[in-house]
Chains A and B, each alone.
Chain A
Amino acid sequence: MNPVIELEKVSFAYEEEPVLEEVSLRIYPGDFCALIGPNGSGKSTLLKIVVGLLQPRSGRVRLFGQDLSSFRQWWRIGYVPQKVTALVDRVLPLTVYETVALGLLNKPMEKPEQAQRIAEALETVGLPGASGRLLRELSGGQQQRVFLARALVGQPEVLLLDEPTTGVDFAAQEKFYDLLGELNRRGLTILIVTHDIAMVDRHVKQVACLNRRLVFHGEHSEFCRHPEICGFFSGGHHILGHCH
């Protein structure tokens, strides 16, 4: 099976400050991989490199077997950036429908088909009938799901999420990860940057630990068998409690 995302010895630095050093990582179809690590370990940077927002200093990135520099099929990838709810302010009268429709800009289609797709995406994230509501009037958890719908509406094969549940309460987080698990079971490949170790323990299949370098990448069960890594990356105890 060919990897959908492939990083080969990728290094990156902000000016002279190295952030990633020779990171090699392969994500395969059907993976549900959590990218974890301490603050400043390069998790978000890595995700931004994968979607072309940052250029690596060295190394290669391939998406669906194509070099990133020549990759144009962006509809195959859904992306939910960090702190999206911070974008929603009380001035902007953006409806849920208009927000989700932005996810179809790189995939032009007729209006009825577009409406159908948006309705399906909202149904998937558990917000049927919310299309006419204003984004600013929804809760943080609901807004988070609208942005997930925007990433899903183009029916991508890979979903990339950068700390999607920051600032969202525990119940909403649990619901969000349940939904990601369901999407993964339907065949969607997911790579998620997260600090929610408890959620990682309960929901994901693979774990990649980053601390400038890739320290570990493998099945979640394997991760639990390395208490020194597991303890360091989970802040000590949470995940160990769940793993054992």
Chain B
Amino acid sequence: MDLKIYILFWQAFLAGLALGAASGPVGVFLILRRDSLLPHALTHVAFTGVALGFLLHGAPLPLTLLVTVLAAFAVMHIREKAGIYEDTAVGILAGLGLALAVVLASLARSYDVRLLTYLFGNILVITPEEAFVALGLALLVLLTLARFWEALLFVSFDEESARASGLRVKLLKLLLAMLTALLVVIGMRLIGLLLISALMVIPGAAALEVARSFRQSLWFSALFGVLSVAGGLVLSVLLDLPPSGAIVLFSGFIFLVGFLVRRTVV
């Protein structure tokens, strides 16, 4: 293999592993908060950012990051202030995000293969810059989790007591929404907007099946995220499958194993 291609492959592979390691633990908190659909809604909004990038002839990544983080703020605000059900807020956001993206993409005349690379992703064709940014942002998510996981657990598990103990609950909830937004943006080129939410939720759900402590569930979810990316990439190379689909299908296989193990062993 050509040295340049070899380096490119390893950069992408490492970025993918970092994304897998960060997605699983964030997914555990989202599941715990019954908020598994939040990343799904944010992917729709991220699509707006991509379309806006095409329309303005700018780089889609920073614009998408901005739009998705703003959407995470908005969904938090709507839930706190508007007095509507949480899943309704998520449904409204997802629908409006996608509608706006379709209109913007049409205006930008960008219904072509470029758009598809953001919808379905392809970890094997990302640029070194994209791999570097993805790796950096995924590490940032992991470091943030390492610092705040107990506070996030308290807020996710027993929000009332967390508030009564003086924790800054609104900020922590916002932090979780922002971490989710970051992972959506990192994942859009690697896994694709249509599948990145699955990489957050499925390894987290698998970890909760088999863990015997919350700390263990975080470690397992990171491990399962990494295994999903690694296993999916191997499958995609061996069987000539689309990498993003193979990665998510592999995570589904891990969940199935965890599901069966819990019901067999426990």
Contact = CB atoms under 8 A, between A and B. Distances in A.
A1 interface: no
B161 A92 contact: no
B227 interface: no
Contact of B166 (A87, A92, A98, A106): A106
A29 B151 CA distance: 30
Interface string B215-239: 1110000000000000000000000
Given A51-B164, A81-B158, A106-B167, A91 B31 contact: yes
12 contacts: A51-B164, A74-B165, A75-B166, A81-B161, A84-B158, A84-B161, A93-B212, A93-B213, A94-B157, A95-B214, A97-B213, A102-B158
Contacts of B175: none
Interface residues of B, number: 24
B80 interface: no
B158 A92 contact: no
Contact of B216 (A53, A93, A101, A103): A93
Contacts of A93: 208, 211-214, 216-217
A84 B166 CA distance: 18
Interface in A12-52: 51-52
A80 B164 CA distance: 9
Contact of B213 (A52, A81, A87, A95): A95
Interface string B143-184: 000000011011001101111111100000000000000000
A105 interface: yes
A79 B165 contact: yes
A94 B213 contact: yes
B154 A105 contact: yes
Contact of A79 (B157, B164, B167): B164
B208 A91 contact: yes
Contacts of A95: 212-214
A53 B163 contact: yes
B214 A106 contact: no
B37 interface: no
Interface string A199-225: 000000000000000000000000000
Contact of A87 (B151, B158, B208, B216): B158
B70 interface: no
A72 interface: yes
A118 to B, nearest CB: 13
Contacts of A72: 166
A134 interface: yes
A52 B163 contact: yes
Given A93-B213, A95-B214, A103 B157 contact: no
A102 B154 contact: yes
Interface in B112-127: none
Q: Shortest 10 CB-CB distances between A and B: which pairs?
A: A74-B166, A51-B164, A79-B164, A93-B211, A95-B213, A102-B154, A81-B160, A94-B214, A106-B166, A106-B165
A55 B212 CA distance: 39
A102 B157 CA distance: 10
A185 B263 CA distance: 47
Contacts of B158: 81, 84, 87, 102
A79 B159 CA distance: 12
A93 B211 CA distance: 6
B161 A79 contact: yes
B167 A105 contact: yes
Contacts of B162: 102
> Which among B157, B208, B217 has the highest number of chain A CB atoms within 10 Å?
B157
> Which among B150, B211, B213, B216 has the highest number of chain A CB atoms within 10 Å?
B213
Nearest to B212: A93
A101 B160 CA distance: 16
B55 interface: no
B78 interface: no
B32 interface: yes
Interface in A98-148: 98, 101-103, 105-106, 134
Nearest to A51: B164
> Which among A72, A91, A92, A98 has the highest number of chain B CB atoms within 10 Å?
A92
B212 A134 contact: yes
Nearest to B157: A87
